[in-house]
């Protein structure tokens, strides 16, 4: 056992600066824990974490299976790419699941997504998605490339019609680039969203590699579709200046469903529908320049939207086209997920030296499209000693109540749950190193949580156990 493993195991029973109230399904305010300056013990959740094997610590009764490991070959001869990131899970007819997995791979990667004819956007790029098909007992029966030739596929989102939107977290242009001494050449511009069909590899030939340019060219993180209106919400993980929260509104006559987005994108159209950026306003009418202004849960801002001037960003990045007086920014806008009639989205951290107004180590916001408001539901205090909770990234809404957040911070590498009363708890711990968690998503039955750990190697896990509503009692 390495000293780093020992250190991680000593963290399992400790306290943390974990704060957050009024999250998924919560019916009442919990004002006693409403300030980011406060510190409180974590909730019990599913119980104390103990080693469930050499890779993960989990609550008692939980176990894990490794579905894929980068640098290895799985069923069908698929060579697993590096840097597994966000995932979407889809039910299979007759049982089991199909999982579409992003690979946050840049042009300098050693192990990229294998190129397959008809699925490649840019022959010079190595990112993309892979698709795993698993049985009810989580045995992998198929693994294949579903889109390739993209860059830094980070987060994304499941559509109401059963597809996966995979997002490029880059705005690199066509041409030759150098990173850490590695030179590579892109044939096309990047920074787009692509749509992947989970039903089969064949269903993606000639389609998944079509960029949805009307959703903007920027450092995309995640995408969420409003099932009622077809509007798509998009987060941007960028700085100097900090990124924006976007909304795409479809054109008149648009009917959402499988094939509808590709039909709009086939001719490379950019100016389709309307792409706007969020503007938040305090109740007193004062403009909010950055979401880090909020330090108390249940802080609510009204929202309006300003149209993006030039969404393909051929002259300058979109976030630079709009001034601080026009929009509301946030440092590291990360994962998002549809739930409770709106959008949960994450700001990973904020520091005053990066343009943030106040410092924090994670915010979760809820955007209500009917009320046109954003509400701070969860906030984590600055984790100065690395022993607490920090850097939430990918997010999912749990079918058992509350949220699950993947950490990409300092110190211990954890999956963090947040109960429906806003209390954080530890759900899983990386025992190997401090590589980030990514891609939490449940199967349709709610019996398995699929998640990734980026690292060397990167791994995709299936986590099972006695799921139920997590305890709000103190841990």
In tens, the pLDDT along 361-396 reads: 999 999 999 999 999 999 999 987 777 889 999 999
As given in the structure block, the two tokens for residue 253 are: 């006559």
String of b and e for 327-361 (b: at least 16 CB within 10 Å)? bbbbbbbbbbbbbeebbbbbbbbbeeebbbebbbb
The pLDDT confidence band at residue 41, using thresholds 50, 70 and 90, is low
Q: What is the mean pLDDT of residues 132-161?
A: 98
Backbone angles phi, psi at 112, to 5 degrees: -100, 175
Question: What's the rounded Cα separation, in Å, for the pair 90 and 37?
Answer: 40
pLDDT bin (cut points 50, 70, 90) of residue 94 is: confident
In a domain, 14, yes or no: yes
Confidence of residue 109 (pLDDT cuts 50, 70, 90): confident
Q: How far apart are CA 322 and CA 344, in angstroms?
A: 24
Other beta carbons within 10 Å of 372: 13
Convert 389-403 to b/e letters by CB count within 10 Å (16 or more is b). bbbbbbbbbbebbbb
pLDDT (0 to 100) of residue 120: 98
Let me know if residue 122 belongs to a domain: no
> Is the pLDDT score of 301 beyond 50?
yes
Higher pLDDT, 94 or 202: 202
* Domain around 411: 1-70+390-475
Q: What is the DSSP letter of 202?
A: G
Q: Is the confidence at residue 11, as pLDDT, over 70?
A: no
Q: Is residue 448 part of a domain?
A: yes
Tokens standing for 297? 């849960």
Residue 239's alpha-carbon distances to 121, 155, 326, 351, 448, in angstroms, are 27, 17, 17, 12, 35
Q: What is the mean pLDDT of residues 117-125?
A: 97
pLDDT in the model for residue 37: 31
Establish if 183 belongs to a structural domain: no
pLDDT digits (tens, 9 = 90+) for 417-430: 999 888 999 999 99
| 8 A C-beta contact, residue 410 and residue 383 | yes
463: which residues sit within 8 A by CB, 6+ positions away? 56, 58, 62, 63, 64, 428, 448, 449, 450, 451
Mean pLDDT of the region 13-33: 33
Q: Is residue 294 part of a domain?
A: no
Check whether 434 has a pLDDT greater than 70: yes
Rg (CA), the chain: 21
Question: H or E element: which one contains 321?
Answer: helix 318-321
Per the domain annotation, does 128 fall within a domain? no
The whole-number pLDDT of residue 31 equals: 29
Tell me which residue of 322, 324, 321, 276 sits closest to 303, measured CA to CA.
276
Residue 401: predicted pLDDT: 95
In a domain, 361, yes or no: no
Q: Check pLDDT > 60 for residue 7.
A: no
Please tell me the total count of domains within the chain: 1
Given a cut of 70, is residue 14 above it in pLDDT?
no
Q: Is the pLDDT of residue 6 over 70?
A: no
Beta bridge partners of 158: 164
The residues, any chain, with a CB within 8 Å of residue 450's CB and separated by 6 or more, are 67, 87, 89, 97, 99, 439, 440, 441, 442, 443, 460, 461, 462, 463
**Edge-to-edge strand ranges of the sheet holding 84-91:** 84-91, 97-103, 127-134, 140-150
Among the listed residues 394, 382, 464, 404, the one whose alpha carbon sits nearest the alpha carbon of residue 436: 394
pLDDT of amino acid 25: 32
Average pLDDT score over the chain = 91
Following CA atoms 401, 402, 406, 410 in sequence, which dihedral angle do they give, to the nearest 10 degrees? -130
Looking at the domain assignment, is residue 424 inside a domain? yes
pLDDT in tens, 206-247: 999 999 999 999 999 999 999 999 999 999 999 999 999 999
Question: What pLDDT is stored for residue 386 in this prediction?
Answer: 72
Instruction: Provide the pLDDT for residue 374.
Output: 98
Residues paired with 276 in a beta bridge: 247, 307
């Amino acid at each position: 056992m390495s000293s780093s493993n020992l250190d991680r195991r000593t963290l399992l029973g400790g306290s943390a600066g974990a704060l957050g109230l009024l999250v998924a399904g919560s019916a009442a305010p919990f004002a006693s824990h409403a300030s980011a300056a406060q510190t409180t013990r974590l909730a019990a959740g599913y119980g104390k974490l103990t080693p469930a094997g050499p890779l993960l610590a989990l609550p008692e009764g939980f176990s894990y299976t490794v579905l894929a490991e980068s640098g290895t070959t799985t069923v069908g001869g698929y060579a697993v790419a590096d840097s597994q990131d966000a995932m979407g899970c889809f039910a299979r007819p007759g049982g089991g699941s199909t999982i579409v997995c992003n690979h946050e791979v840049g042009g300098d990667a050693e192990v990229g997504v294998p190129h397959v004819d008809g699925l490649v956007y840019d022959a010079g790029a190595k990112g993309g998605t892979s698709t795993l098909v698993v049985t009810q007992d989580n045995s992998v029966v198929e693994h294949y490339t579903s889109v390739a030739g993209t860059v830094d596929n980070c987060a994304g989102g499941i559509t109401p019609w059963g597809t996966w939107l995979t997002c490029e977290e880059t705005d690199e242009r066509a041409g030759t680039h150098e990173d850490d001494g590695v030179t590579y050449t892109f044939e096309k511009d990047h920074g787009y969203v692509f749509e992947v069909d989970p039903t089969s590899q064949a269903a993606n030939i000639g389609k998944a590699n079509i960029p949805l340019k009307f959703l903007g060219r920027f450092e995309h993180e995640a995408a969420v579709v409003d099932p009622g209106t077809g509007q798509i919400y998009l987060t941007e993980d960028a700085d100097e200046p900090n990124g924006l929260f976007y909304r795409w509104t479809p054109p008149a006559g648009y009917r959402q469903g499988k094939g509808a987005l590709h039909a709009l994108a086939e001719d490379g159209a950019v100016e389709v529908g309307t792409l706007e950026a969020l503007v938040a306003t305090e109740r007193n009418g004062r403009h909010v320049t950055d979401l880090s202004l909020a330090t108390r849960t249940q802080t609510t801002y009204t929202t309006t939207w300003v149209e993006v001037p030039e969404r393909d960003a051929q002259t300058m990045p979109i976030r630079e086209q709009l001034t601080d007086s026009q929009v509301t920014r946030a440092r590291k806008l990360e994962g998002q997920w549809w739930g409770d009639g709106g959008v949960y989205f994450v700001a990973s951290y904020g520091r005053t030296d990066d343009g943030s107004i106040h410092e924090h180590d994670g915010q979760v916001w809820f955007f209500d499209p009917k009320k046109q408001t954003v509400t701070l539901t969860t906030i984590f205090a600055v984790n100065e000693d690395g022993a607490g909770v920090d850097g939430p990234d990918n997010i999912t809404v749990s079918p058992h109540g509350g949220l699950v957040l993947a950490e990409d911070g300092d110190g211990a590498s954890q999956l963090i749950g947040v109960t429906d009363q806003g209390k954080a708890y530890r759900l899983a711990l990386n025992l190997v190193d401090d590589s980030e968690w990514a891609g939490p998503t449940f199967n349709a039955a709610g019996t398995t949580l699929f998640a990734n750990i980026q690292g060397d190697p990167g791994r995709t896990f299936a986590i099972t156990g006695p799921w139920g509503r997590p305890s709000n009692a103190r841990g």
